[in-house]
Amino acid sequence: MNYNSWIFWLLFAGVIGGYWRLSHRAQNRLLLVASYLFYGFWDYRFLFLVLLSTVIDFIGGLGVSGIRISRSKQRNLALLTSASAFLLSSGINYSSLVRGDFRTGLPHHFSDFAVPIGTTIACMLYGVALPRLYALPETKRRKAFLTISMIANLAILAYFKYAGFFLESLRGGLHTLGLSSLDIPTLHILLPAGISFYTFQAMSYTIDIYRGETKPTENFPDFALFVCFFPHLVAGPIMRAHTLLPQVIAPRKLKPGAFEEGLLLVLVGMFKKIVIADNMAPLANAVFSRFSNGHAVGLSGFDTLIGIYAFAFQIYGDFSGYSAVARGISKWLGFDLVVNFRNPYLAVSPSDFWRRWHISLSTWLRDYLYIPLGGNRGGTFALYRNLMITMTLGGLWHGASWTFVGWGIYHGAILCGFRALNISDPKPEKIKSIKERLIWIFRVGVMFHLTCFGWLLFRAETPQIVFAMSRKILTDFHLTGFGLSTLALLIFHCAVLFVLEWRWDGENRLPVGENAPIKKRSVIRFAALYIYLLAMLLIFHAETSYAFIYFQF
């Protein structure tokens, strides 16, 4: 269910229609039901995984803090988890989720119920083990519940997202060694939408409780809403418990200026998705698809570079557009989600880029991976090692392929390279002279092109395509009509938004809302802005609507 679909807005209209007339408890229940409907629209069977991750970390958080769960609540959670597991076997065979060489062809075979039966047994064993876990000394108990949470969540993520990739890589490695006769099973596993987002968010809750940075909730529906709140469920931003959970628990009210701020965010987000991302997609696809066989006849290096530019703005419009709409509709529901983008293409260094791009993920990796590894402590080698590990795993978080791994390694390498150069990032407010401005423009240009090469690694399906496109840019660079017309379209669609976001510092200084200066609330100015955004949406919307890129992560 995409934000740019009528069915989503019908669902949202049904939610918001009577939302502010309900009690706080009823509001939360309504949002919880709407969130499960929202996620179940893609594939209701995978609601099991959302519920499983929710139950794991709800119990884990209480266990870490030493709060005992009543037997009735244990029983209800076990029944909920086991019942939801049977969603995997209803309607369509479980074997259609994991398709191997052997399929029964029967409507329901015993093997189709392996997951729900296994889940039921696991729930029973966990229920038996809980008293023993609570009986452990405090330090061991806290570590035990945290370890169970981490292993369970990472196991779910590893199986559904990475099992097929690792088996395929193993098969390729054995073939290289001349051991292709060994039988390695083939798994084509369907990837649940947004699994990386809600898994990371649920895990961070238990980790934060272990660190003493947040307190657990004993209200399961409230925690379930924290995990699956539909505006950010499948593509972020990744919210921390200390930021979102208090907003779930406390009564909400519509703040002054929240409606107009939400409206601007929704319009800007839809503009980014429909006008920019969906118009850039066919331009980028036209270039990348030509290299599917390793070379492209009829394309110059300039055409190839412009195609990479098009993808750079496609993915920015797509992802930041989703985040803007998520923040906008959350404003209407009384929630504040974190800003996830802040003019990333104005970054002057790799570290500056990651302070601006997918901020909720970069801070998650910093707080839960980079700093625990040692951060910048322990000398130069340790610093570079920690950066490379963090960014490589960050690349793997995005997808199960060697190009994503390469993308992560590349960003780790340029982070290390800029650290070695020891060039400080200038503060915008201190850039005053013409020389300083020219240096800033030069550094922005360099970083933008370094980022674009990273997008080549991100978008290309194979390393061979990366090499072919790089070779084309370096050896056959000349202007063409196709490249110039594509560049003109890119500038036409992106220039105005680029200027607006530069003035707004991404979404940090929106000229509307409760904290906006009164002098900026010009009726004529904002009427013109809204008319422009609506006109662009109506006139220059793409003929084809594309799914949000980050739904696959």
Residues that are catalytic: 398
The answer to whether residues 193 and 42 touch, using CB atoms and an 8 Å cutoff, is yes
Q: What is the DSSP letter of 333?
A: T
Token digits for 128?
A: 């038996």
Answer for the pair 227, 55: CB distance below 8 angstroms, yes or no.
no
Secondary structure of 491-521 as H, E, C letters: HHHHHHHHHHHHHHCCCCCCCCCCCCCHHHC
d(CA 42, CA 38): 8
3-state secondary structure 229-266: CHHHCCCCCCCCHHHHHHHHHCCCCCCCCHHHHHHHHH
CB atoms within 10 A of CB 102: 9
Token duo for residue 79: 């029944």
Helix axes 481-504, 301-332, angle to 10 degrees: 30
Helices marked H in 66-219 — which ranges? 71-85, 114-134, 138-157, 163-176, 195-211
Helix 138-157 with 195-211: angle, nearest 10 deg: 170
Compute CA distances 470 → 261, 309, 477, 553, whole Å.
42, 14, 11, 26
User: Is the separation of the CB atoms in 493 and 276 below 8 Å?
Assistant: yes
Both tokens of 278, joined, read: 């969906």
Q: Kindly report the length of the chain.
A: 553
Residue 83 tokens, joined: 């019942």
Q: Name every residue whose Cβ is closer than 8 Å to that of residue 314 and which is 6 or more positions away in sequence.
A: 276, 277, 280, 281, 284, 549
List the helix and strand counts (H, then E) for the chain: 22, 2
The two tokens of residue 253 are: 């009210």
> Which residues are CB-contacts of 227 (< 8 A; sequence separation ≥ 6)?
50, 53, 54, 57, 198, 201, 202, 205
- What CA–CA distance (Å, rounded) separates 32 from 222? 8
Residue with tokens 């923040």: 327
**Cis amide bond preceding 237, omega within 30:** yes
Q: Where does residue 476 rank: exposed (0-12), middle (13-18), buried (19+ CB within 10 A)?
A: middle
3-state secondary structure of 193: coil
